[in-house]
Structure 1
Amino acid sequence: MKLELRGITKTFGSFVANDAIDLVVEPGEIHSLLGENGAGKSTLMNVLYGLYRPDGGQIVIDGEPVAFSDPGDAMDAGIGMVHQHFMLVPVFTVAENMVLGHEPTRGGLLDIAAARTLVREISARFGFDLDPDALVEDLPVGAQQRVEIIKALSRRAEVLVLDEPTAVLTPHETDELMAIMRQLRDEGTSIVFITHKLREVKAVSDRITVIRRGKVVGEADPSADQAELASLMVGRQVSLAQDKSEAAPGEVALEVTDLRVTDAAGTRTLDGVSFEVRHGEVLAVAGVQGNGQTELTEALLGLQETVHGSATLEGRELVGRSTKQVLDAGVGFVPEDRTHDALVPDFSVAENLVLDQHDRPPFGSALAMKLKAIRQNAERLIPEFDIRTESAVSAVSTLSGGNQQKVVMARALNRELALLIASQPTRGVDVGSIEFLHRRILDERDKGTPVVIVSTELDEVTQLADRIAVMYRGKILGIVPGDEDRDVLGLMMAGYTAEAAREAVAAGARTTDSQLADEGDIA
């Protein structure tokens, strides 16, 4: 199938999201749509998928103009889409989710056996290893994404749109997804890959179209260097590596001793973690997602119920205090999941920017909020953090994922901090905004604030960290300098101690992101 978008225009009030965009996707190619958050990439694909009606232009398939009134029309025409935020029913099984909306029947009843068979067939074809009867809510994020892909393939999609598919994936899951994309392409499926991650674009694309502020600003070859792609995206030169000054650590500010967390099933998810963070330094916690990092940050913030051990900030115990008490003690927090843990979707951008301070001056008191101060705060932070929104009173749910992340970061950094804890601080954020947010984090460090960063992105870890704590299976395997060799860090993330990893690297061992799982426990 050859897909053409000709002069697609989409507006929301006075805001032009897509401005006469032309795009051609050839049969059997991976065509990357590259751009900043809020550039109009997802809006364009939502027009293609029938979720939005275009205000101008037309969609052409194999030379014939088509019009979609809803996603059903798009799917019938052979177009499938995997959204950044999955469209799955958590309490349904894989098979039930796959056939939702086009259920196979036998004698007027749902033929779940046929659905199971189809899951097994597609799963075996692409090596997905999915159990048709598994509940979606019990699956890891990478497996949930495969369920979304199976849904599209079950409708015989010839063009598959992947909207920021790696935003919530670990490096290992990202490598697996790219292998799936290549296999789909080789079997004739065209893929539109929406992203802002330059390394992934170069690794998997056949062609690249760059969109900036609603317009196509050029096409690029996958062989183009990252700096060239970044400048095309942002419209200016972008520094891909922060010019970080030498840290000048002061006294110990945060001291964590033998911190342990036990989940509802009695499993020790955090197992005797100890470390310290000084004023004026960044401690980065690295590791493949699911090795205790979430439990660590939640234990420090009072979000875990069963916590043992100690965590003191300036000598004051945090363990056992409520989340509000921890935040009131001057802790800025960026949760790893902005959708569920950081934002109230129906609240405005302005309201979300003061969620942790709405009851304190200058934004309010126990009796009432001060709406003028809240609005003025938003009017200052929106341009400062380049939050792309129609207005401060727009619901935060109307923003792109990356712009939502900027709201969360702006809120955390918008006060005097005794400690900053940021988990996946730039998840889903484009390269230009990453540069800005990294600079703000380092500025906070240089003011003397102790900073804890949790990230699965090795590039981010090595750019920000003064010291790196590597977690594996609920424990810290070692704390190493911020300039530690990437191959050593990769082996530590796979279970090696620092000493064993250095010896292995010295002997010629290397690791890539795709090897950061399923390694034996070398510790």
Structure 2
Amino acid sequence: MSVIEVQEVTKRFGDFTAIDQITLDFAEGEIHAICGENGAGKSTFMNMLFGLLQPTEGQILLHGKPVDFHSPKEAIHSGIGMVHQHFKLVPSLTVFENVLLGEEMTQSLKIDRQREKESVQATIDNFGFDLDAGDKIEAISVGAQQRAEIIKMLHRNVDILILDEPTAVLTPQETDELLDKLIELKNLGKTIIIITHKLDEVKKCADRVTVIRRGKKIGTVYNQDVTEKDISRMMVGRDVSLDFDKKPCTCGDLVLQLNNVTATSKLGKKVLEGIDLEVKQGEIVGIAGIEGNGQAELMELFSGTRKLTDGEMIYKGKKINCCDPAALRKMGFGLVPEDRYRDALNATMSIWENMIAGRHKDYCKLCFFDDKVIRQVTKELIEEYDIRNCDNIDALVSTLSGGNAQKIIMAREISCNPDIMIMSQPTRGVDIGSIEFIHQRIIQLRDEGKAVIVISSELTEIMNLSDRIYVMHKGKIVGERETSQTNKEDIGLLMAGINHQANREVAFSYGT
């Protein structure tokens, strides 16, 4: 039986149509996955169900009756809850205090803290969550924080739960636990809607899958009737593979080395501590970890935008302490930062201007730009890197999709022939077709003898690309593994701060 019906819904922002006449239903007691490329309209569609946005045309029916939500509060009161990718929690408050935030007090202006705490704990226990209502948010893991967000909704008696990219910040173990819990909630009669691009997770838990592409519904299928490749084909319009047969790594000379590196924030807090790592010619080194554990600061160090306060960085046998990205590029660094528009592209400049950024002198003739050469080189790189919608290279780079903008950066950096390429979140906000292309280029760099460092919160990406993996936790390197000798479980435990191998060794020594 359908609990929500969406009938010919359209959402426009000015002249731009984000959602185009979508008709869809969600059944009671099912997990329904909404899949699509970045920018396809998935979040816009869900935000209409949750009252954050209102349809331009069409209608939404809840239990067969038309509804017109103008706020999340109205949606929650009607039984629809949403857990956003970025949690809405107050770190200094406890779990139960966060759960109660926003609830109306109808009986008294005074809160009976013990009674309310017991009430929230009862909800936690009723649904079988591993959570203590009295714990402060800042003291619990990211996975526990997400459970607190879900309890916030369940405590308000919602029957329909929407989750936006629910596993983006979870370890593999936390991901498995969440998917199992969603199946339990489904079996209790809840309707679960998940927005995700991780097709392996879709296959594990979803009953039905709907694919949205460029604001239009491509189709709804039963999960049991399709493969991951079928879904990705619906998303992109062609066959896509993210599995590569890499030839064995043949390492050359040491290119970059960090020895006991420490860096501090402006307030003097250590953001990196005792970092030791190295990368050689012809290998891909992956940096894994849950976001917020020092990876961004490490990339800033590599990019020359953060100073080290202790230790040393050695490049090709020479100690460097450079805080100038331009100087690093001259030394042979290629840099693809996490935030493309903040650190790598100028949104107010054209495609060709961004393509030659940082190497203008290479295209000057008698102090003037050689326009003919610039246009020729730009068009050649656009063709080589399969950058779409670039017929007019005078157009602003901001008119490109995330995937095409990322390819602009990759083309510019790789065409400079760097000795070492360092990339942070290289496929974030990128469609699955562009991910395939970027991964192929990364492996090609390695096979050409370049040193490559990939920082990513996507563990599958790290496992597929890397020859060796370092894992970061709380600003430290907590483990190093040869990819061929490890697995997702081992890396996931390290990401959570649990040294699985060390624990096994300790247990063995005590056993003897």
Which string of whole-angstrom CA distances, capped at 9 and with x for unpartnered residues, describes residues 352-400 of structure 1?
99999978848xxxxxxx9x99xx999x989955699xx976989xx9x
Letter in 2 for 1:183: E
**Number of corresponding residues:** 481
Question: Match for 1:414 among 404, 412, 415?
Answer: 412
Cα 1:256–1:211 change in 2 (3 A) is same
The question of whether the paired residues in 2 share the 8 Å contact of 1:196 and 1:429 is answered with: no
Residues 208 and 131 (structure 1 numbering): CA distance in 2 closer, same or farther, change over 3 Å? Answer: same
Q: Find the counterpart in structure 1 of residue 64 from structure 2.
A: 63
Is 1:300–1:319's contact at 8 Å kept on the other side of the alignment? Answer: no
Whole-Å separation in 1 of the counterparts to 2:433 and 2:235 = 8
2:3 counterpart residue number: 2
Which residue in 2 is equivalent to 1:85?
86
State which drifts further: 413-422 or 188-197: 413-422
Give the drift of 1:190: 0.5
The aligned residue for residue 177 of structure 1 is 178
CA displacement at 1:461 relative to structure 2: 2.7
2:272–2:298 CA contact under 8 A, matched in 1: no
Is residue 503 of structure 2 the alignment partner of residue 521 of structure 1? yes
* Range that drifts further, 426-435 or 42-51: 426-435
Question: Which 5+ residue runs of structure 2 have no aligned equivalent?
Answer: 362-368, 506-512
Aligned amino acid, residue 310 of structure 2: H
User: Which residue number in structure 1 is paired with residue 284 of structure 2?
Assistant: 282
C-alpha deviation, 1:80, in angstroms: 0.9
Paired AA for residue 287 in structure 2: V
Partner SS for 2:240: coil
Offset from partner CA, 1:106-128 (integer Å, 9 cap, x none): 64345655553443233333324
Q: 1:98 to 1:414 in 2, by over 3 A?
A: farther
CA 1:311 to 1:145, structure 2 compared with 1: closer, same or farther past 3 Å?
A: same
| CA contact 2:478–2:497 (8 Å) conserved in 1 | no
- State the Cα distance separating 1:4 from its structure 2 match: 0.9
Percent identity, aligned pairs only? 37
The residue aligned with 2:27 is 26
Amino acid at match of 1:85: H
Q: Deviations over 1:86-110 (max 9, x none)?
A: 3344555444433333343664345
Shift, 1:238, TM fit: 0.9
Equivalent in the alignment of 1:48: 49
Q: Secondary structure at the match of 1:438?
A: helix
Structure-2 separation of matches of 1:248 and 1:461 = 19
- Are 1:129 and 2:111 counterparts? no
Which of 96-105 and 233-242 deviates more?
96-105
Distance in structure 2 (CA, Å) of the matches to 1:201 and 1:21? 21
Residue aligned with 1:452, SS:
strand
Unpaired segments of 5 or more residues in structure 1? 363-369, 496-512
In 2, Cα distance between equivalents of 1:21 and 1:188? 25
Judged with a 3 Å threshold, the aligned counterparts in structure 2 of structure 1 residues 491 and 81 are, in CA distance, closer, same or farther, namely closer
TM-score (norm 2): 0.77
Map of 1:197-216 to 2, 5 A cutoff?
Answer: 197-216=198-217
2:435 is aligned to 434
Sort the Cα spacing of 1:424 and 1:171 in 2 relative to 1 into closer, same or farther, 3 A. farther
Is 2:172–2:492's contact at 8 Å kept on the other side of the alignment? no
Q: Look up the match of 1:194.
A: 195
TM-score w.r.t. the length of structure 1 is 0.75
Structure whose CA Rg is larger? 2
Deviation at 1:235, TM superposition (A): 0.8
Match of 1:232 among 231, 234, 241: 234
8 Å CA contact 1:261–1:271 kept in 2: the answer is no
Amino acid across the alignment from 1:283: V
Which secondary structure state, in structure 2, belongs to the residue aligned with residue 414 of structure 1? Answer: helix
Query: Within 2, Cα distance between the matches of 1:325 and 1:3?
Result: 57
Contact 1:288-1:517 at 8 Å conserved across structures: no
Matched position secondary structure for 1:231: helix
Q: Which residue of 2 aligns with 1:460?
A: 461
CA distance in 2, matches of 1:295, 1:222: 40
Measure, in 2, the Cα distance between the counterparts of 1:220 and 1:167.
24
- The 5 A counterparts of 1:102-181 are 102-104=103-105, 107-109=108-110, 113=114, 115-125=116-126, 126-132=128-134, 134-136=136-138, 139-181=140-182
d(CA) in 2 for partners of 1:250, 1:350: 41
In structure 1, the partner of 2:36 is 35
Matches of 1:297 and 1:124, distance apart in 2:
42
Report the alpha carbon displacement of residue 245 of structure 1 after superposing the two structures with TM: 5.5
TM-fit CA distance, 1:192: 0.7
For 1:117 and 1:20, the matched residues in 2 are separated by: 46
- Secondary structure, counterpart of 1:420 in structure 2: strand
Structure 1 residues 20-65: Cα deviation after superposition (integer angstroms, max 9, x where no partner):
1111111111011111111111111111112222122111111111
SS at match of 1:521: helix
Say if 1:164 and 1:194, in contact at 8 Å, map to a contact too: yes
Q: Name the structure 1 match of 2:16.
A: 15
Decide which moves more: 72-81 or 200-209.
72-81
Check conservation: 1:142, 1:173, Cα contact below 8 A: yes
- CA distance in structure 1 between the aligned counterparts of 2:73 and 2:358, rounded to whole angstroms: 46
Q: Deviation per CA, 1:142-172, whole angstroms, max 9, x where unpaired?
A: 3332232222223221111111111222212
Asked if structure 1 preserves the Cα contact closer than 8 Å seen for 2:350 and 2:395, the reply is no
Counterpart for residue 451 of structure 1: 452
